[in-house]
Every structure is written in C-alpha cells, then in structure tokens.
Structure 1
C-alpha cells in the first residue's frame, strides 16, 4: 500500500474524499452484504377506544351500577359499550335538573337563544364526527348522514330564533270588562323527562330536546336505546358550550327501565313520550304512572316513526309552557 493510501485509511475517508460509513444492520435502509435494502416495519398502533359516560349535572359519571351494554351498528358489528343507567342515576339526574331550573328559567329569553345558537356553532365544528356516528347508528351513507347532521344543526338554530318570540304566540293582552289590564305570559313547566326518538339518533333528538330547554325548562334526556352514541357525544358539546350544568342530563340505557323511574318520580313535572312511539303498551304504562302527580304528558304522534325532517312548527314549544295571567288596575 502506498503512503498516500495509508494516510487515507487512517483518516477514515474513501479515495473519493467522502467519509467512510459503516453499515448498521439494525437501521432502516441499511444494505446487506448482497446489496439488498432491508427495512424495519413500525409496530401497529392499538386503537384508542372511546369511553362513553353519562352526563349528569354538567359532569360525566359512570353508571352508579357499573353496568354497560353493547352498542352495535346496522350490520350488528360492535361499536362501543354505553353506560346502562340505574334508578339511582335517574334520581341524580332529576335532582341536578331541579337545581338548575331556577337559574335557567330566570335567564332572559334572548340569553337562552344565544346559548342554543352556540350549541349549533359547536356542532358545526364537529360535523364529520357526528356524521360518522349517525351513519353507523342508522345504516346511512356518508352523504345521507351528513344531511341528517346538517338538519339537526339547522333545527338548533331554528329553535334558538324562537326563544324571544314564543311569548308573542302564547301570551298577550286579554279583553276584560272593567278598568283592568289582563295579561297572559308563558312560563316553563319545570323538569321534563324526554324520551328521544328511537329511529332518529340526532335529528329527532334535537327536535325534542331543543324546544324543551329554549322555553326555560330543564331536561332529563333518555336517548335512543339502540343508537345512543350521538346523544352521548352531544353531551360533550353541551358541557363545553354555555349551557349551565344540570340544564340537560343524558341517561343512556334501557328505555323502559329508565323511563319508568322518571315517570314515577314526584319531582318530574312533564314527560315527552316521543321515544315510546311504536310501543303502545309502554306509552300507556308511562302515562298511567305519570298521572300520580299530574305530570303533563306529550303523547307520541302516530304508531310508527315520525318524519323529523318536516317543518316542526310551534307545537313542541308550546307543549311544556304554563300560562300565567296577571290583573293590573288601569291608571295605577
């Protein structure tokens, strides 16, 4: 070997003047002695599965009983384990709704409308998530599910707009004989137990929940038994919006079990049976139980699933309002 070659070898450089590199057998892209490039496969990630919880008093507790039940998609494939509410969970939800009622019913109608509009804003930002959940729950295409989500968002906006206008429909000045003003004004009924539709996991839910709370009531919501995931995700939106804790409480589980407890609860003022449509026996049983403390009951419309895409009108806004009439002498 010449003296020049020896100097090159000692300095660790090739004859071309480039640094000499040793092949690393454990490194991705290293070459073997045969010249073939080898690669190291990255380990597969484990799915981070979502843990769904109840929504009571603005918090996310697990079911008091620790029970869950399997939620599957339209093909019968597993989607998640949803919490199965107990009677204790129902009682806690009613207590939270009653505690929140004073502040919520005392807020101005304009403020309640702003808060509902904020919910719509946040739903708009999570359209893809809700479209995916609705598609899996109802067996819809992506386009059809997205249309359902858009309609649900529009429904929130629609009811938000009615917040400070419904009093003009339900109230007014009454003609009386005598020197008096006679004024009728609507007031919220109180705590309303809402059975959400079984077949429409988000649009139907929005159509029954929004009119209850925009008029100043607080709600204990029982979502669709077979498709509760959109409702449980909605509770995350409500928790991070301006809706005060306890105004909406979400109890997933067996509809009959939870609804029976709510219908018998003496501190529940009204009951919406939309989720009992198609089950005349359950609807009759709940209505009979609700009569024990004279709850106001909104019966399901028809024997089958309702078409929630139609114009909702004002019937559900008026369903859970009481009329207060005040007499005032003229000139005083």
Structure 2
C-alpha cells in the first residue's frame, strides 16, 4: 500500500467566536525551525483588525458584567481543555521554536500553569488593588478597579505559547476583551489556543486572534479609537516600530504597555503589573445611612 497523502492544513482567523477567512483572501506558509512546511495561516488585513475590534467591543458588556468568580471558572476551564490538547501544543512549540521535546513539554506545562495562576486572580485582584478610603465626613468612599475595555495585544514573536499566555491571560481575567496579533513565524500555538477558547466556555468575541504580519495590523489597532489599551510585547527590540505605535496610541490616550528592549524571560514570576495595566479605578462616594 502507498503512504497516505499529507493533509495540509489552512487555518483561518478567530473573530467573534467564528473562524473566518481573511477578507484579503491571502494566506502564507508557516515553516518549522528547520524550514519544513507546517501549515498555511491567514494573512490578516486592516479590515480584519477593525472587524476584530468590533467583535471585542460587542462582547465587552457581557464579559465585564460577569462576576469575577464566574470569569475565574471560565478561564480555569480553558486550562483544562489546554491540558487535553497538551500533545498538540508540545508538537507545535517544539517544531516552531526548535526545542527538544523535553524542553517543549516544560514550556507547555508552564503555560498551562500560568493560565491557572491568572485564572485564580479573577476574584482576588479587586481586594488587592481596591480600597476603602478614609474621608473627613459622613461618607463611605471606595476605590474599585474596573476593566478598561478593548485591549490590543501584540503577542511575543519568539515565545509562541508561554509568552502568549503571559500577555493574553492578564488582559482577559479582569473583564477586558482582546484583539491578539499572533507571532508571524510561530502562529500555530495561538491558533490552537483560539480553538481551545471556542470549545471552552469563553464567550465569542472575548478573544479575537489575527495572524499575519504584525506590521499590517498593529498600526490599525494602535490608532483605532475604540481600542482602549495596547500591549506592545510583540514589538520587543524594534524601537522604531514601537515608537510609531505609541504615537498612534496617544491620539485617544490609550493605556500602553511599552515594548521591552528585548524579549523577556517569560518563565520568571509574572507579578500583577500586566493585570493592573489594563484596569481603571472608579471611586464611589456614598452617604452613611442613619
């Protein structure tokens, strides 16, 4: 008997809980670290970026209005499904990043654990960064953190899963919705994660994934007036591009997580900085009842 023909995959975008083709009709070949063909990925356009922002805005009221406890449960379910597809993630990380299987397994396990860690903060972050303020008068005064809105996230270009989770999870855990621009050369873990999200309990539009060159979609996201914040992790080391995106973001006073000089060590303790970067603080005064 002859060998089976290879089933070559052509992946699509993830927008609004669906998997549409790019409106441009373009795709590109994704190769592994040795240059061998892995799959075809959609090449997102500026129109796709705008559609993703519209989907994220539509999903924002429901996701931000859910209880923090419920969001934590939903995000923990994502980790459960990731665990079930662990072998696929390991293969994609190993081939995309050129890692030995043991190192790829460690990276995937750390990514799943990182997702669980952030999910656990869903119903705790308000108690850590919120406060009850002392005031001179017969009033209660509370400072309460709230999600900022739609967040554009440029995923790290090198760390295709652990780095991805480290910038995506802190944005969604507090109630924001996200438009994610995946790594150009290593997009497969982001695509697989979008499939995990679609088969978990995450509402459609909470996370929207764009593949293709970040230079095609990032300027549209940075200048979009309905995007409230942008994380420039994926522009690490590209000072000129990061500067241009910061200038575009300044047009509507977006919150900006600035690009690092080089891609950081994603295995380090994450801290709460990326959660708080996407939060607003609302202060409420209420008269003391008799």
**TM-score normalized by the length of structure 2:** 0.98
Whether 1:178 aligns to 2:146 is no
Offset, 1:43? 2.8
How far residue 71 of structure 1 moved from its aligned partner, in angstroms, is 1.3
Counterpart residue number, 2:274: 316
Which entry has the higher C-alpha Rg, 1 or 2? 1
Equivalent position to 2:160, from 185, 201, 207: 201
1:51 is displaced (CA, Å) by 2.1
User: Which residue in the other structure is 1:134 paired with?
Assistant: 93
- Residue 270 of structure 1 pairs with residue 229 of structure 2: yes
Q: Which runs of 5+ in 2 are unaligned?
A: none
- Offset, 1:44: 2.1
Q: Extract structure 1 runs of 4+ deviating beyond 6 A.
A: none
Partner of 1:215: 174
Aligned length: 290
Q: Choose which of 241, 248, 262 in structure 2 pairs with 1:289.
A: 248
Cα deviations across residues 225-282 of structure 1 (Å, max 9, x unaligned)?
Answer: 1101110111110000000000000000101111011111111110000000110001
2:282 alignment partner, SS class? strand
Q: Give the corresponding residue for 1:92.
A: 51
CA RMSD of aligned residues (A): 0.8
Q: Distance in 2 between matches of 1:44 and 1:216?
A: 49
Q: Unpaired segments of 5 or more residues in structure 1?
A: 1-41
Specify the alignment match of 2:22 in structure 1: 63
Higher relative contact order (CA 8 A, sep 6+): 2
- Residue pairs, 1:19-168, within 5 angstroms: 42-168=1-127
Structure 2 Cα separation of the partners of residues 70 and 292 of structure 1: 35
Shift of 1:57: 0.2
* CA deviation map 1:154-176 (0-9, x unaligned): 01100010000000111010111
Shift of 1:300: 2.1
**Matching residue of 2:286:** 328
Distance 1:251 1:190 in 2: 19
Taking the aligned partners of 2:157 and 2:2, their CA distance within structure 1 comes to 41
* Alpha-carbon distance in 2 for matches of 1:284, 1:72: 30
Shift of 1:69: 1.4
Paired residue for 1:9? none
Give distance in 1, aligned partners of 2:264 and 2:215: 20
CA distance in 2, matches of 1:44, 1:135: 25
DSSP 3-state at the match of 1:219 = strand
Shift of 1:78: 1.9
Q: Post-superposition shift, 1:93?
A: 0.3
